[in-house]
Structure 1
């Protein structure tokens, strides 16, 4: 280990990291107030340890709240493998809950991520994010399965491949999602959504998330992408409920902007110092 890394590791071990755990429909995140810039987004090993459900705190991703010169705050989202995400629907709603309840921000907010400005609001249990543009829906790549068919490729700040299935509960989301996640039509990989239409106002969805590399209990951009694909295909109305295993979200295309709404809650607060990790685990920031 270099002298610089040793000095950084010693400094970090002496100062506790304070965090808040949050969840939206079971999609869970560890949030840090990073307005002092202490945590760097390229600390991939740090993020992996925080998200590890055995050695760390456990989460689908890490959220950094930072200062912004163009909005109320800058939102940085890091997947559980340490990779950055251009947007996260449920993560952004948890971030809104955090800055409102923990930092005292107003209930109507603007935030930036990936060079774009989003609007959000907190009202009781409900947290809503307005996307500046409606999802970009395109024909899917030429893929086909025995018990699913591709519906659309959708971009909502991050890419999604939306599939229509008959038996959603019986789908092997992990195996199929892992295979399609690296399809050559998506140079940077894609999230994969498995969709079943329940009626004109209700969808059931399961999502394999890129960067988490597993199915999550819910996915906000997956809800938006699935609803957009189904709406464009004429399968559902412009306002639709999207049911995940972790809970229900609502997507609204009835206005000029797309809106994603649902509950988002802070679960607990805590602090930690970087531990002595098991042999073979590089837990130092890099």
Structure 2
């Protein structure tokens, strides 16, 4: 059975996009998702996304990690907005549903602006911070991102007694100047480093905002291995709100695959 797909990437974070408004692909198995995402025996991707029809929204983002598990993915959501716009099912401003709730987004100057959910809680009890931006993230501050072994360190944290059951994404960040930082991320569900992680970049920006005691509205420029993004937020006494993840989302190629 031939499955039509499109491949998108957002700052090197790549996804298999499937138009599932008809519901034809509702029963894709975990093993099929794993095979399609395999970089040697399949299409190759960090994740797979079904765009579904759902009442009250422009569409639903049904996201699967490359191991078949589900989570929210910021870059995947941004690529979904670009894909939906190309399909003609969404205009420049959209309202969609994901696993972590409803999101607004819009496209401007070839950048996808994704509104993230508010973040009120952050564990800052240790030198490393932990928070949830739709997916759980561990933020490690370091002075050398380029040479940091994020895979070894990421596995150490992700499979520790505290996190091994539910898993956690692990980020190493280094502040470059007042308004920018660089980042590397180990993603659960992929179980490897990815070139970019939208929820991780957002979490890192909020963690740095907390660490630097930022007041009010602020924006960080972020350099990942796959490209540059930015995060806007407002920090108040009750946490972070009006959070926006901003960056590119581009079509790589289209095709069909036998499933």
Match of 1:253 in 2: 233
The answer to whether the aligner puts 1:36 opposite 2:57 as a matched pair is no
Name the stretch that deviates more: 33-42 or 223-232. 33-42
How many matched pairs?
A: 251
For the residues of structure 1 that align with 2:96 and 2:120, how far apart are their CA atoms?
19
The answer to whether the aligner puts 1:47 opposite 2:30 as a matched pair is no
Once the two structures are TM-superposed, the CA of residue 42 in structure 1 deviates from its matched residue by: 6.1
Match of 1:7 in 2: none
The answer to whether the aligner puts 1:132 opposite 2:117 as a matched pair is yes
Q: Which runs of 5+ in 1 are unaligned?
A: 1-14, 143-149, 275-286
1:208-255 Cα distance to aligned partner (Å, 9 max, x none) = 000000000000001000000010011778210110011011000138
- The equivalent position to 2:69 in structure 1, one of 76, 83, 98, is 83
Once the two structures are TM-superposed, the CA of residue 40 in structure 1 deviates from its matched residue by: 3.3
For the residues of structure 2 that align with 1:30 and 1:54, how far apart are their CA atoms?
15
Name the stretch that deviates more: 98-107 or 157-166. 98-107
Match of 1:230 in 2: 208
Q: Which runs of 5+ in 2 are unaligned?
A: 236-240
Q: TM-score, normalised by structure 2?
A: 0.92
Match of 1:95 in 2: 80
For the residues of structure 2 that align with 1:71 and 1:245, how far apart are their CA atoms?
33
Once the two structures are TM-superposed, the CA of residue 104 in structure 1 deviates from its matched residue by: 3.9
Contact 2:100 2:134 in 1 (8 A): no
Contact 1:135 1:224 in 2 (8 A): no
For the residues of structure 1 that align with 2:253 and 2:89, how far apart are their CA atoms?
17
The answer to whether the aligner puts 1:122 opposite 2:107 as a matched pair is yes
- Following superposition of structure 1 onto structure 2, how do residues 156-175 of structure 1 map, counting pairs within 5 Å? 156-175=133-152
Once the two structures are TM-superposed, the CA of residue 174 in structure 1 deviates from its matched residue by: 0.8
Q: TM-score, normalised by structure 1?
A: 0.83
Once the two structures are TM-superposed, the CA of residue 72 in structure 1 deviates from its matched residue by: 1.0
Closer/same/farther in 2, CA of residues 41 and 201 from structure 1, 3 Å limit: farther
Tell me the C-alpha RMSD between the 2 structures.
Answer: 1.7
Q: Greater strand percent: which structure?
A: 2
The answer to whether the aligner puts 1:263 opposite 2:232 as a matched pair is no
The answer to whether the aligner puts 1:153 opposite 2:130 as a matched pair is yes
Closer/same/farther in 2, CA of residues 23 and 254 from structure 1, 3 Å limit: same
Match of 1:57 in 2: 43
Secondary structure of 2:223 counterpart: strand
